[in-house]
Amino acid sequence: DAGITQSPRYKITETGRQVTLMCHQTWSHSYMFWYRQDLGHGLRLIYYSAAADITDKGEVPDGYVVSRSKTENFPLTLESATRSQTSVYFCASRAPGANEKLFFGSGTQLSVL
Amino acid sequence: KNEVEQSPQNLTAQEGEFITINCSYSVGISALHWLQQHPGGGIVSLFMLSSGKKKHGRLIATINIQEKHSSLHITASHPRDSAVYICAVMGGTSYGKLTFGQGTILTVHP
């Protein structure tokens, strides 16, 4: 199906474990983004990518790693999960150009115990 | 001071009322987005504006670049419009990165 999909939808893990959240889009959008959404903070950018093999830090990158070997995939890895990383994570993508909309995945609700 | 300020933070309305949500920003932008998020749900882009006005169904979005202000209007509101509405701005050279407002929680009662 066309669109942007995230997996898993829900994840519970323990502190110190490595966790990878997946994001896949079928439009070949060049821009992809990872956000976290927390009460009181709204949406905050973790990492973004302008194209395959081009990634850069956002506002809150500490503790996260991304890669983008293929245009359609943009996984986010928590190398050693901490309780402060309990959040809802959204992946998004858009085509280049000033008039392009942003499309969001359904989100991953992550709990770190 | 946040770069993007929304008002009000919370809004309660009766079905059928005309609703306005405001967004002010302090930086130069190339575009402004209005997003909708239903409780427990994903985020949907409603509008992307760089000037003027856009309309989709009962929703109208306007932007005044000189005044650094945008409004989202909902005509004839309905309980299904109950959601969080988020304003987000994109700078001119930001790789498409957005700066988000805190969101406006809208509740429409039947």
Per-residue model confidence (pLDDT) at position A96: 81
- Taking only the tens place, the pLDDT of each residue in A33-84 is 999 999 878 899 999 999 999 999 998 999 999 999 999 999 999 999 999 9
pLDDT band at A97 (very low <50, low <70, confident <90, very high): confident
Per-residue model confidence (pLDDT) at position B29: 85
Residue of B38, B33, B65 whose CA lies nearest to B49: B33
Per-residue model confidence (pLDDT) at position B93: 60
- Sheet of strand A19-25: strand arrangement: A4-7, A19-25, A76-78, A64-66
Q: From chain B, which residues contact A within 8 Å (Cβ)?
A: 30-31, 33, 35, 41-45, 48, 50, 86, 88, 95-98, 100-103
Please tell me which of the candidates A44, A96, A103 has its beta carbon nearest to residue B45. A103
Percent of the residues in chain A that have a pLDDT greater than 90, as a whole number: 84
- Give the span between the Cα atoms of A42 and B101, in whole angstroms: 7
- Taking only the tens place, the pLDDT of each residue in B68-104 is 999 999 999 999 999 999 999 987 665 667 889 999 9
Averaged confidence pLDDT in chain A:
93
Flag if A102 and B45 touch (Cβ within 8 Å).
Answer: yes
Per-residue model confidence (pLDDT) at position B40: 78
- Give the span between the Cα atoms of B67 and A30, in whole angstroms: 32
Per-residue model confidence (pLDDT) at position B96: 66
Per-residue model confidence (pLDDT) at position B30: 83
- Give the span between the Cα atoms of A14 and A103, in whole angstroms: 30
CA distance B99 to chain A (A): 8
**Mean pLDDT value of segment B47-58:** 93
Q: Has residue A99 got a pLDDT over 90?
A: no
Burial classification of residue A58, based on how many CB atoms lie within 10 Å of its CB (0-12 exposed, 13-18 middle, 19 or more buried): middle
Per-residue model confidence (pLDDT) at position B82: 96
Per-residue model confidence (pLDDT) at position B23: 97
- Give the span between the Cα atoms of B45 and B57, in whole angstroms: 14
Strand ranges for chain B from DSSP E: 4-7, 10-14, 19-25, 31-37, 43-49, 52-56, 59-64, 69-74, 83-90, 98-100, 104-109
> Max CA-CA distance within chain B?
44
Q: Which residues of B are less than 8 Å from A102 in CB distance?
A: 33, 35, 45, 48, 88, 96, 98
Please tell me which of the candidates B48, B100, B101 has its beta carbon nearest to residue A99. B48
Per-residue model confidence (pLDDT) at position B53: 95
Flag if A104 and B45 touch (Cβ within 8 Å).
Answer: yes
Flag if B95 and A90 touch (Cβ within 8 Å).
Answer: no
